[in-house]
Chain A
């Protein structure tokens, strides 16, 4: 697939990352890089360590070994909030939206980091605070238009169908205007039509906003169509890395997905 944007230098580099939970070794010596404006996929069978990898990048887990370099800086003990502040946004495999809040409010929380006025000004809704609120509201409205969820602006997210909730999850991450967007199985549990919609949105985000995207999927088909390069994990190890075509013909990948006769 051809993209209008130009792929740049590596923005995110993972080097020799190992992560263990007690005796379970979730990741073993995994290295790869993600280039700016790239659409990068991490695939692998269930339990391959894909989500762990994402959680390491986003600071939920701290690896025992190895480093994650983002934008030229290594941070060892960053937590998710710092990662967010540095421009790493994410969506969740099992939805983690604020279910009781409206779509609009969910997206507005994504602007939280960009809010500068203090509590007192906010409380009286005066001057800068009001101007700021209007600015952020405008940014969020653009995302609502982009994701075609205008009709659901005021609906509590918990009442929306699954496919739309996934879209709101994406929207909330987009509202942060991230440099790198981590998507944890954005197509999981969707029907064909919803999958197609989601693919289109992800491609458009990459194309129009130039956002670097790291995408986890366990369904190989979808990913191969839309990504520039693919990392394949199996039992916590990297077994392949390259363009979709290279990966597709790799014997280790075929074995991992189809199983090998022992």
Chain B
């Protein structure tokens, strides 16, 4: 066997779960079109809708990954941070332009990061991971409640001044065109820019380098003089800003309400799929799950109804978790996560 071929089989042997997943996803993507019953325009709309939701999942998952990488803490409060940031912007925007409100909210999120470092992380340094997880659970409920105390518990809206009415595009390509929301488009671009900026920050600046060093090895980072406490404040601030962007996008789309906090739970399967320590993993995982669950809901649901006489529906709620469970079985480190080899 030539070396290249043997290399290929070796790769295939090691990565077959990923190959299988990609095959499955592609099959799922193509199937609705292949039956010939689905109008192409409708199909494209579902796809775009899925991608849009996926972007939001990616942003929340990104917050998880950043904090997990840098401090080894699984931050359950990421969803609560999204809600709190969105609430802050929505309520402050009632009395000032939304962008000033957003700038102020950035300040709030940085202050929050500083408080969390001071009051939660620093006293609990070197404790078991479970203690830190419980602490972030506490932060979650505190933030949820505190947000209501300060800002109220109704549904608020964030108006970014972008037209919400969907527009018909690509009418030449698809029969009847497809409906696209201008706001969705702006949101996706904003999310993309944010991710690119973060990547540059991490790869190109000395502070980013220090952050990566801390993520890699706390003890070594400390003994070359990187101040852990300051790094934690920066990481939690960045996660706070990411939460803010996610919150504003979500809030302007669906209104700011308590349910935003639950989005975080959808980010869990995303990080399992993408890998807990991988920034690209969070982004790609979010998109896969966003598109996957939308497709499954719209196209797989009716098939199940026809075939088994079920009620259908609800697939959107469990799809992500089933996919994550499959991954935990065959590839626990996720698509892009670091594989841990422990010396026995």
Contacts and interface: CB of A to CB of B under 8 A. Distances in A.
Contacts of A80: 219, 222-223
B165 to A, nearest CB: 37
Given A98-B213, A100-B212, A101-B212, A81 B207 contact: no
A80 B228 CA distance: 10
Contacts of B210: 109, 112
B205 A123 contact: yes
A112 B222 CA distance: 11
B224 interface: yes
B209 interface: yes
B217 A113 contact: no
Nearest to B212: A101
Contacts of A113: 224-225
B223 A112 contact: no
A24 interface: no
A85 interface: yes
A79 B221 CA distance: 12
Nearest to A114: B225
Contacts of A101: 209, 212-213, 216
A244 B218 CA distance: 36
B205 A125 contact: yes
Contacts of B338: 100
Given A98-B217, A100-B212, A109 B201 contact: no
A96 interface: yes
Contacts of B234: 119
B3 interface: no
A109 B224 contact: yes
Interface string B85-112: 0000000000000000000000000000
Contacts of A58: 223
A108 B207 CA distance: 11
A105 interface: yes
A177 to B, nearest CB: 11
Contacts of A108: 206, 209
A97 B222 contact: no
Given A96-B219, A97-B220, A105 B209 contact: yes
B212 A90 contact: no
Contact of B224 (A60, A79, A105, A110): A110
Chief secondary structure at chain B's binding surface? helix
Contact of A112 (B204, B206, B217): B206
Contacts, number: 84
B226 interface: yes
A187 interface: no
Interface in B108-152: none
B220 to A, nearest CB: 4
A109 B217 contact: no
Residue from A80, A90, A173 with most neighbouring chain B CB atoms (10 Å): A80
Nearest to A87: B225
Given A58-B223, A81-B222, A172-B224, A115 B206 contact: yes
A105 B212 contact: yes
Interface string A104-124: 011011111101000100110
B147 to A, nearest CB: 28
B139 to A, nearest CB: 25
Contacts of B226: 81, 109, 112
A238 B226 CA distance: 33
Given A98-B213, A105-B212, A84 B207 contact: no
A176 B224 contact: yes
Contacts of B213: 98, 101, 106, 109, 112
Contacts of B166: none
A110 to B, nearest CB: 5
B206 A122 contact: yes
B314 interface: no
B205 A112 contact: no
A89 B222 CA distance: 10
A115 B209 CA distance: 12
Contacts of A25: none
Nearest to B230: A81
B227 interface: yes
A115 B221 CA distance: 15
A83 B228 CA distance: 14
B221 A109 contact: yes
A238 to B, nearest CB: 24
A230 B212 CA distance: 38
B218 to A, nearest CB: 9
B204 A109 contact: no
Contacts of A110: 224
B123 to A, nearest CB: 15
Given A58-B223, A81-B225, A84-B224, A98 B212 contact: yes
Nearest to B200: A123
A86 to B, nearest CB: 9
Contacts of B216: 97-101
Nearest to B222: A80
A122 B201 CA distance: 9
Contacts of B223: 58, 60, 80-81, 83-84, 89-90
6 contacts: A79-B222, A80-B219, A81-B227, A122-B206, A123-B205, A176-B225
Given A98-B220, A172-B224, 12 more contacts: A60-B219, A80-B219, A83-B223, A89-B223, A97-B220, A109-B213, A109-B224, A112-B209, A115-B206, A119-B234, A123-B205, A125-B204
Interface of B: 201, 204-207, 209-210, 212-213, 216-217, 219-228, 234, 338
